[in-house]
């Protein structure tokens, strides 16, 4: 469905050439969900811009749905782009338009009758689970609902490919899962090919059948997601996999705490060795408006002081807890409320 052959992209800038992609060859099969993972600056957005035909490679070939990009005229390119839908990290919705108007936007030049457009929008609203929200404005929606509008809009013209550019990076873990689930359902029901770029391995693991790891403009590892996850070959891939395992363990722990302490906020405080624990904890434990107790602590000595984490259960009103955590910040102590 999508094939890149020795694709290279060099941007000319005032400070000299920047090689965003060095030599990328990759093949995405029709109907699969393919993930590209990489750190910021690895070249992910450039890769996406080559696939959606917004950018031409400096050398090499891009083929989408049997058409070689360099063979197409400008007019043919515009037509080919319609076969590709795209969703973004920050949704890119029109804020002054309703949900239905946002979804109808790509249909404006389609030549469909008003009635046919309305039917199509209704169908898309049902498909993404936004029944009853057609007249809402984006500002009235949660992040997950905004991304659902983005997905419906991207699918409006029946594209063959859906490109997802860090589509869940602005969402909390629960909402991320529900959006990934929706993408999976859409992939299965419509047979649409999905290419997803992300810096989060759990996103890949959740829905991608295959993954490519991009580093400094080169694909350093590629394979079935489960194989790459189970047996990462490159140090950078191990880093991505390691972070996922750590965060899964983290969330299991939080769930355990939550079960044992259903009331109050669970707060993690990190000490980097350079700040005084006594002074920070004094602030919390002598704050009359809240009640703090220690659930777990883990410290190790360093050259400059003791470094580690403290998990606390804090009872009190939302405002009082917020004020207490703010006063910690003035002491340069990092505190975060763990998700419930
Ligand atoms: N239009 C441009 N002009 C000049 N340099 C660019 C341009 N777009 C990207 N680059 C450079 O190319 C390299 C790859 O950037 P790209 O945005 O593709 O990476 P990325 O993996 O998507 O990172 P991020 O997630 O931060 O956007 C970076 O060094 C970037 O500064």
Instruction: Read off the tokens for 210.
Output: 């295959």
Is residue 45 in contact with ligand 1, taking CB distance under 6 Å? yes
CA atoms within 13 A on the CB side of 180: 25
Q: Indicate the pTM of the whole model.
A: 0.75
| Ligand 1 in reach of 43 Cβ (< 6 A) | yes
Nearest 5°: the CA angle 296, 310, 246 is: 80
Q: What is the atom index within ligand 1 of the atom nearest the CA of 38?
A: 21
Which residue do the tokens 């999508």 mark? Answer: 2
Does any ligand 1 atom lie closer than 6 A to the CB of residue 35? Answer: no
Closest C-alpha residue for ligand 1 atom 18: 43
Give, using CA atoms, the residue closest to atom 30 of ligand 1. 41
Instruction: List the one residue out of 51, 59, 75 whose CA is nearest residue 3.
Output: 51
Closest ligand 1 atom to Cα of 39: 21
Element holding 151 (H helix, E strand): helix 143-155
Cβ atoms of 65 and 160 closer than 8 Å: yes
Which atom of ligand 1 approaches the CA of 19 most closely? 12
Domains and CATH numbers, the chain: 2-231 (3.40.50.300), 252-337 (3.30.70.260)
Round to whole Å and give the CA distance between 68 and 297: 58
3-state secondary structure of 337: strand
Pocket probe for ligand 1: among 43, 54, 167, the residue whose CB has the most ligand atoms within 8 Å is 43
Query: What's residue 247's pLDDT?
Result: 66
- Determine if ligand 1 sits within 6 Å of the CB of residue 9: no
User: For ligand 1, is residue 13 a contact (CB within 6 Å)?
Assistant: yes
Atom of ligand 1 nearest to the CA of 49: 18
Ligand 1 pocket, residue 20 CB under 6 Å: yes
SS3 content of the chain, % helix, strand, coil (to 5): 40, 30, 30
* Beta strand ranges found along the chain (DSSP E): 2-13, 16-28, 33-37, 59-64, 67-68, 84-88, 161-165, 193-198, 210-215, 218-224, 265-272, 291-301, 306-315, 334-337
Ligand 1 in reach of 40 Cβ (< 6 A): yes
- Output the pLDDT for position 91: 93
Ligand 1: which atom is nearest the Cα of residue 46? 18
pLDDT (tens digit per residue) in 111-159: 889 999 999 999 999 999 999 999 999 999 999 999 999 999 999 999 9
> What's the pLDDT score for residue 8?
96
Rg (CA), the chain: 24
Average pLDDT taken over every residue of the chain: 89
Nearest CA to ligand 1 atom 29: 41
Q: Which atom of ligand 1 is nearest to the CA of 21?
A: 14
Determine contact, residues 29/23, Cβ cutoff 8 Å: no
C-alpha of residue 134 to centroid of ligand 1, in Å: 36
Q: Decide whether any atom of ligand 1 lies within 6 Å of the 11 Cβ.
A: yes
Cα torsion 153, 169, 46, 228: sign: negative
Q: What is the pLDDT of residues 158-216, one digit of tens each?
A: 999 999 999 998 888 889 999 999 999 999 999 999 999 998 888 998 999 999 999 99
Q: How confident is the model at residue 245 (pLDDT cuts 50, 70, 90)?
A: low
pLDDT digits (tens, 9 = 90+) for 273-317: 777 777 788 888 888 889 988 888 877 766 667 777 888 889 988
């Amino acid at each position: 469905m999508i094939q890149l052959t020795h694709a290279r992209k060099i941007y000319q800038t005032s400070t000299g050439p920047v090689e965003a992609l060095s030599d990328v060859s990759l093949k995405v099969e029709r109907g699969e969900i393919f993930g590209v993972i990489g750190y910021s600056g690895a070249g992910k957005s450039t890769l996406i811009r080559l696939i959606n035909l917004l950018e031409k490679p400096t050398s090499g070939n891009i083929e989408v749905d049997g058409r070689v990009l360099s063979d197409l005229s400008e007019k043919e390119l515009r037509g080919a782009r319609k076969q590709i839908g795209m969703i973004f990290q920050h949704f890119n919705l029109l804020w002054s338009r309703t949900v239905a108007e946002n979804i109808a936007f790509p249909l404006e030049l389609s030549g469909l009758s008003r009635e046919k457009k309305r039917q199509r929008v209704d169908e898309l609203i049902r498909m993404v689970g936004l029944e009853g929200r057609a007249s809402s404005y984006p500002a009235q929606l949660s992040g997950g609902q905004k991304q659902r509008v983005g997905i419906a809009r991207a699918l409006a013209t029946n594209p063959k490919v859906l490109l997802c550019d860090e589509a869940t990076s602005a969402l909390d873990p629960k909402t991320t899962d529900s959006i990934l689930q929706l993408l999976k359902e859409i992939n299965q029901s419509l047979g649409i090919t999905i290419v997803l770029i992300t810096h989060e391995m759990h996103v890949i693991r959740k829905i991608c059948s295959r993954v490519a790891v991009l580093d400094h403009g080169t694909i350093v590892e590629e394979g079935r997601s489960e194989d790459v996850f189970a047996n990462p070959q490159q140090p950078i891939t191990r880093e991505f996999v390691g972070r996922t395992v750590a965060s899964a363990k983290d969330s299991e722990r939080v769930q355990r705490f939550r079960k044992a302490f259903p009331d109050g906020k669970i707060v993690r405080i990190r000490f980097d060795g350079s700040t005084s624990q006594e002074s920070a904890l004094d602030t919390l434990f002598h704050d009359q408006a809240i009640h703090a107790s220690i659930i777990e602590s883990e410290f190790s000595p360093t050259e400059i002081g003791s470094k580690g984490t403290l998990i606390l259960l804090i009872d009190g009103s939302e405002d009082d807890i917020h004020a207490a955590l703010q006063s910690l910040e003035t002491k340069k102590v990092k505190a975060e409320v763990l998700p419930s």
